[in-house]
């Protein structure tokens, strides 16, 4: 009985680090350089989308920050890429801007036409497929 208790304690208190008990390193599960690159691009897209929606609402970053009960520079820090909001604050930002989380992330790639993208999203699936085929055909004619 005492040995079972000691075994449980040893498992509970075991060191959980990338270095094994015998001193050898565990194989990395992820390529952290790639993850950092994706994270940076995602943060930039988030910041751009936040700025676009805030400007469309016609409010300043300071006004939005204070309205949400945050420090005056909170939204500007997000838009400048210095911070990302917590999940709870993200939902509050969406509520303030009057968009759903899905709508927040439904945006065009940089350089895209947001009005055209929004119009395309409002079409039925059949009409959307027709417009896409037309655009592909026009693109082929230009080549």
End-to-end CA distance of the chain: 79
Q: Which fold has domain 32-99?
A: 434 Repressor (Amino-terminal Domain) (1.10.260)
The residue count for the chain? 143
The dihedral through the CA atoms of 94, 98, 101, 106 has a sign that is: negative
* Number of alpha helices (DSSP H) and beta strands (DSSP E) in the chain: 8, 0
DSSP character at residue 30: S
Contacts of the segment 51-56: beta carbons below 8 A, 24+ positions apart: 51/79, 52/107, 52/114, 53/97, 53/99, 53/104, 54/79, 54/97
Q: How far apart are CA 95 and CA 83, in angstroms?
A: 19
**Do 25 and 18 form a contact (C-beta atoms < 8 A)?**
yes
Per-residue pLDDT tens digits of the chain, which is 143 residues long: 666 666 655 555 544 444 445 555 555 555 555 555 555 566 678 888 899 899 988 999 999 999 999 999 999 999 998 888 999 999 999 999 998 888 888 765 545 566 676 777 778 888 888 888 888 888 776 66
Q: How far apart are CA 85 and CA 93, in angstroms?
A: 9
Q: pLDDT tens-digit profile of 84-119? A: 899 999 999 999 999 888 888 876 554 556 667 677
**Paired strand residues for 56:** none
Q: Where along the chain do its domains lie?
A: 32-99, 116-143
């Amino acid at each position: 009985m005492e040995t079972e208790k000691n075994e449980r304690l040893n498992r509970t208190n075991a060191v959980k680090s990338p270095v094994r008990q015998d001193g050898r390193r565990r194989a990395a599960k992820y390529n952290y350089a790639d993850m950092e690159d994706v994270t940076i691009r995602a943060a930039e897209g988030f910041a751009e989308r936040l700025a676009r929606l805030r400007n469309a609402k016609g409010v300043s970053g300071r006004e939005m920050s204070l309205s949400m009960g945050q420090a005056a520079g909170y939204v500007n820090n997000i838009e400048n890429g210095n911070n990302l909001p917590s999940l709870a604050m993200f939902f509050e930002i969406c509520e303030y801007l009057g968009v759903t989380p899905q709508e927040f992330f439904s945006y065009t790639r940089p350089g895209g036409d947001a009005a055209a993208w929004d119009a395309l999203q409002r079409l039925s699936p059949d009409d959307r497929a027709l417009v896409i085929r037309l655009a592909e055909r026009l693109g082929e004619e230009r080549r």
